[in-house]
Structure 1
Amino acid sequence: MMRRKPYVAAALMLMLSILLPACGGANPAAGTDVPAKQTAEKHEVTFRDFQTEKGVIKIPEKPQRIVTDYYGGDLLAVGGNVVGVEPTAFQNPFLRDLLKHTQNVGEPTNVEKVLTLAPDLIVVMKPENYEALSKIAPTLYIPYGTTTNIKETVKLFGDIVGEKEKADEFLKAYEKKAAEGREKLKGIVDPNATVGLYELTDKGEIWIFGDNAGRGGQAVYNALQLKMPDINNTKNQTLQLSMETLPQYAADYMFLTTYDPEKKGDQLKKLKESKVWQGLRAAKTNTIFYNDFDTFYRYDPIAITGQIDLIVDMLIKRAEENKKSSSTS
């Protein structure tokens, strides 16, 4: 139901006058420190009802200043103006240029920092500080796993931002890129060949991933429609493997990311030197790819679209290298 009511920020300005001295040392994570717009003047904003797990929330029809924890890329994909986001978003190579004037709101979300940004909408994945944040601006709690693919995600956030046309435009561009990628891989990757997504942790754990847990899953399986290892399925979005079971989950093409925040490299070195790894079919055919964690961990719509090109280029380049190698041997 559509309603119109005055949006009065006097209370917000009073809170700002109290809290700003305490927040003066806040350190922005990226780009220029852009101060929040002055909101003391009264103006009318059109609100609408939005259903969430926390109940019906009244949100602006066209939010102008959005703060979020983990939905930065999702909101940016549909034209949302993200003024604050959690810190790891700035490590996302697909978003860096788009976040030049966006502020780091911390993890967990720093309520005082959010207040200084004067948002008119807050969108969170984590429920921590929900009550405090909801006193600043309308706050939507969208739990992890609410959406299961890029199409659902883009449509949801297009609705939240009030930009359904931009959501449609994004999806058309995504579909076009996916179709082009599939066409490029014809004659490069056998339709029956399997492709697996794996991750090695700094503790030596090995995991395999499905089509909706990052690591390039949506780009590989949904966009490019490459085949998942037969033993794995979409029920196993994440599954830990032992070295003994790894060969059962091996694929013709294997993409490995390594979670190694201290950049030690010891676990990857150990894995590469193991007889099990060296004995894998993909190791013998030179179709194992070692991928950057920050690039392939991401699963927002912008990252997924960018990953399509990266994966296609890797597969084509490796095929050319292997062909050249076999012709000279």
Structure 2
Amino acid sequence: MNKKLLLILTLFMTLALAACGSGTDDTKGEAEDKASSDTIVYESETGPVEVPADPQRVVVLSSYAGDLIKLGVPIVGVDSWSAANPSFDEALKDAEVVSNEDIEKIIELEPDLIIGLNNIQNADKLEKIAPTVLFTYGKNDYLQQHIEIAKVVNKEQEATEWVENFKQRAEDLGTRIKGKIGEDATVTVAENFEKQLYLFGDNWGRGTEILYQAMGLKMPEQVQDVALEPGYFAISQEVLGDYAGDYLVLSLTEEQDTSFMDAAWFKEIPAVKNGNLIVADARTAYFNDAMTLDDQLDFFEQEFLGNE
């Protein structure tokens, strides 16, 4: 083989190898692009977490199930409180009830994302099963929390649009309700638990976020004094009349004592005597997620305004 032919063959081989190498790099780059498009990074309270861009098997170990349902995200595992909410029955019919203690059960569910509260045990074990995002309850307000949940599942724009729409609807409804009951009418929210009643501030579920924050209805001063800052305050059933406003919203469950409603002292509370008692199902009222907020807005519209 002469030197000229050898040089041509060497050059050909070099170009061929370069082309192969270029193809390999391009393929690798395409694979990396594909991988990155399958995940996003959420900046959690404890640092960045790589999560699926389109999660299909979420385990939620807190009160955020309604936010995920509203966003159309499939849930395969859910906390017992959310599972007991009749409003969630259809969306959670195939979900398993789990807690942070059910490690083996959660593994069997093969989740691609886990969401919960940051005070749960076994967080380190959960992180080994699937990307795990934990929130501090109350760190975000009730509407921003929905947006944060949406960021985790790559649906921030959808959540932001819902929040703006909800705020407008709630403000409009508040205006209509105050037009009927008066600007200075007060509303008390209470719930029965173990032969006591709990008064609530403006950020503890039970419709309080809607009534006081979104619609701007007034809380009695005596309730503000004891419940606004801590969020809730326990009282004896018999002194409810001392805290009841012009309207009384009772969040009740059959599992707890409701016999007090038959007592003479209860029937003498002005709000009760005047027909301004609103009874809510506690199982649906505990929460302040997006789905629950929509339901509560409809509930309060009916209770305060009827068919107007």
Residue 253 of structure 1 corresponds to 247
Q: 2:275 aligns with which of 275, 278, 286?
A: 286
Contact 1:196–1:228 at 8 Å: present in 2 too? yes
- 1:227 aligns to what SS in structure 2? coil
Partner of 2:13: none
Aligned partners of 1:105 and 1:113 also within 8 Å: no
Please name the residue that 1:50 is paired with: 42
% identity of equivalent residues: 28
Q: What residue in structure 2 maps to residue 307 of structure 1?
A: 296
1:135, CA displacement in angstroms?
A: 0.8
The amino acid of 1:227's aligned partner reads K
The answer to whether residue 223 in structure 2 is matched with residue 229 in structure 1 is: no
Q: State how many pairs are aligned.
A: 273
Confirm or deny that 1:187 pairs with 2:176. no
In the alignment, structure 1 residue 96 sits paired with structure 2 residue 89? yes
Gap change, CA 1:311 and 1:73, over 3 Å in 2: same
Aligned-pair distance for 1:255? 0.7
Greater share of helix: 2
Q: Which runs of 5+ in 1 are unaligned?
A: 8-42, 321-329
TM-score, normalised to structure 1, is 0.74
Give me the whole-angstrom Cα distance separating, in 1, the residues matched to 2:77 and 2:237.
Answer: 42
Bigger CA radius of gyration: 2
Secondary structure (helix, strand or coil) at the match of 1:187 reads: helix
Shift of 1:45: 4.6
Cα distance change on mapping 1:152 and 1:314 into 2, 3 Å: same
In the TM superposition, residue 48 of structure 1 has moved relative to its aligned partner by 4.3
Q: 1:123 aligns with which of 90, 94, 115?
A: 115
What is the one-letter code of the residue matched to 1:279? E
Q: Alignment partner of 1:94: what SS? A: helix
Q: Residues 125-175 of structure 1, C-alpha deviation per residue, up to 9 Å, x if partnerless?
A: 2522212211111111213223222x2112111211111111122213312
Deviation at 1:289, TM superposition (A): 2.0
The CA distance in 2 between the partners of 1:177 and 1:274, in whole Å, is: 39
Q: Which residue does 1:295 correspond to in 2?
A: 284
What TM-score do the two structures reach when normalised by structure 2? 0.78
Counterpart Cα distance in 2 of 1:67 and 1:207:
31
Residue 77 of structure 1 contacts residue 170 of structure 1 at CA under 8 Å; is this kept in 2?
no
Aligned-pair CA distance for 1:118: 2.1
Paired residues of 2:178 and 2:217 also in contact (CA < 8 A)? no
The ranges of structure 1 where at least 4 consecutive aligned residues each deviate by more than 6 angstroms after the TM superposition are: 4-7
Code of the residue aligned with 2:248 in structure 1: it is: M
* Contact 2:41–2:51 (CA under 8 A) maintained in structure 1: yes
The amino acid of 2:201's aligned partner reads G
CA distance in structure 2 between the aligned counterparts of 1:183 and 1:244, rounded to whole angstroms: 33
* Structure 2 unpaired stretches of 5+: 1-28
Counterpart of 1:63 in structure 2 is: 55
